[in-house]
Chains A and B, each alone.
Chain A
Amino acid sequence: MAPEEIREVIIEILGDIAPDEDLGSLDDAVAFREQLELDSMDFLDIVMELRKRYRVQIPEDEYVQLASMRSTVSYLTPKMSEVAK
């Protein structure tokens, strides 16, 4: 999957986790927490959804990599390069 596709996947997941959020105006450089009402339970769901949908394993001490869209995509790019969309 290319970075752009990974971004789409994350948007899709966020849309399922937090259906009431406006994701159109998301700033990729700014932490999710500062733009969306996401708590630690929701962050766990990003991780769990990636595991459920694409079998991507993310160890607990690396959850911090998922702070913003930009950091998430760059963290996932090598992990998901072989994954088909």
Chain B
Amino acid sequence: MTEAYDTLIIGAGMSGLAAGIRLAYYDQSVAILERHKTIGGLNSFYRAGGRDYDVGLHAVTNFTPKGAKKGPLSRLLRQLRFQWEDFALAPQQQSRIAFPGVDLAFSNDIRLLESEIARCFPHQVAAFANLRSQVLEYDDLDQAAFDISTRKVLGQIFSDPLLIEMLLCPLMWYGNARVHDMDWGQFCIMFRSIFLEGFARPIRGVRLILKHLVKKFRSLGGQLLLRHGVKEIVSEQGRAVGVILDDGREIQAKRILSSAGWVETQRMMGQTDEVVDEETGQLTFIETITTLNCQPAKLGLSDTIVFYNDSDRFDWRPPHHDLCDLRTGVVCSPNNYQYDDHEQLSDGIIRITSIANFDRWSSLSEADYRREKMVWYDRSSDSAVRFVPEFRHHAIDTDMFTPKTIRRFTWHDNGAVYGAPKKRLDGRTQLENVFICGTDQGFVGIIGAIISGISIANQYCLK
């Protein structure tokens, strides 16, 4: 057996790669073990039918312009020694929260949302200012305030319930692992990252970000081992000593950082499901991707992202009786960013996300699965075109993934995109040298996961 690694990282998603860079940069021997044949995890990329696709990327959140010294984006660029230009982020045009009869536009400048609230909810202007200052005061590291009920806080601030639902809609869509309500800490993080900072995207999509992460990790001497699934974490007297891979090989390590999820990591440490007895995440999605023969703006769609909901109540929960719930959804057009020099994606693209039920999707027979995908492609498009222009007559290609796809390529229970409802902010486990990072530690999204990987690596593997 070879010498033990200083740190083994489980998972080559955003958080694992970021943690790996930190450790390799400070001269640790570190390997990232990834079960899949490629990197990226929940935000990977693929090629199908001669076209490049991103798995997840609608928007990189937390956008701040070059030169900004505050905020997660500038912090992670500094920590990973990247230049602002490396991520080539182009800001969004404008996005929209669409409810029956009311639309609130917002952009990377909070003043637009403020003026929209003044227009549609004139009596809530002061309340919104109050919310904004409470969000700014929230201390990220305060575990006690993290899991208080957001619906309760908002109910005390606003008198108009419709505005509460409209504000919750985009923030829950982009980062809430809980059903119906949201942790106050998560709400504050998402409010800042979406309303106070903003959306952006590299023209080449998520592969550009991943390419930079991997290149840096490798150039610092880190080892990326694909098709290396971890079956078991081996421990002796409360300390991990290494892992056993799916193929039975063993690798030794002084410590382990897992981005595979809390329950998933518990299983690797030998806990049976009854012992873990922890709520797993339930919120998962289908997403349709339609390639158009023209730019979406030609069809009258120039919004970057539209978050829609077809009633006055926003119901954030997985559907029980059907494969999907189409009352709410997200429409994203990657074309609608302010790319440099008026560069543009050659094809028009429209992505539509809807809430789905993991169990129902994964218990379908192969033939039913294929048929249901077609059925729900049509239904989710039908639902979306109530809020955006019809686009299907310009479609030249379509693709779609389901909760089953997410589970197949990331091994997250239930294909849960934002992980378990209960977050583990301190990153610790019952073994003194095993830590978790990424989605279940508490920070979701691309930027959130990267920050999580950095901070857990700093806290437990460097000091």
Contacts and interface: CB of A to CB of B under 8 A. Distances in A.
Interface string B65-85: 001011000110011010100
B18 to A, nearest CB: 12
Interface in B431-463: 454-455, 458, 462-463
A5 interface: no
B455 A37 contact: no
Nearest to B66: A20
A34 interface: no
A83 interface: no
B293 to A, nearest CB: 43
A24 to B, nearest CB: 16
B27 A45 contact: no
Contacts of B67: 20
B454 A41 contact: yes
Contact of B27 (A17, A18, A52): A52
Given A48-B462, A60-B463, A41 B75 contact: yes
Contacts of A60: 463
B455 A41 contact: yes
B26 interface: yes
A48 B70 CA distance: 22
Interface in B31-76: 67, 69-70, 74-75
Given A37-B69, A41-B455, A48 B26 contact: yes
A16 B454 CA distance: 17
Interface string A1-17: 00000000000000011
A42 interface: yes
Interface residues of A, number: 16
A51 B74 CA distance: 24
A60 B81 CA distance: 23
A34 to B, nearest CB: 14
A52 B79 CA distance: 15
Given A41-B458, A44-B462, A20 B69 contact: yes
A43 to B, nearest CB: 10
Interface string A47-61: 010011000000010
A4 to B, nearest CB: 26
Nearest to A44: B458
B458 A42 contact: no
Interface in A40-82: 41-42, 44-45, 48, 51-52, 60
A39 B463 contact: no
A52 B26 contact: yes
A39 B455 CA distance: 12
A37 B462 contact: no
A6 to B, nearest CB: 21
B26 A18 contact: no
Interface of B: 26-27, 67, 69-70, 74-75, 78-79, 81, 83, 454-455, 458, 462-463
9 shortest A-B CB distances, which residue pairs? A37-B69, A48-B26, A44-B458, A60-B463, A41-B79, A20-B67, A52-B26, A37-B70, A17-B78
Given A18-B78, A19-B83, A41-B79, 18 more contacts: A16-B81, A17-B78, A18-B69, A19-B78, A20-B69, A20-B74, A21-B69, A37-B69, A37-B70, A39-B75, A41-B454, A41-B458, A44-B462, A44-B463, A48-B26, A48-B462, A52-B26, A60-B463
5 contacts: A17-B78, A20-B67, A37-B70, A44-B462, A52-B27
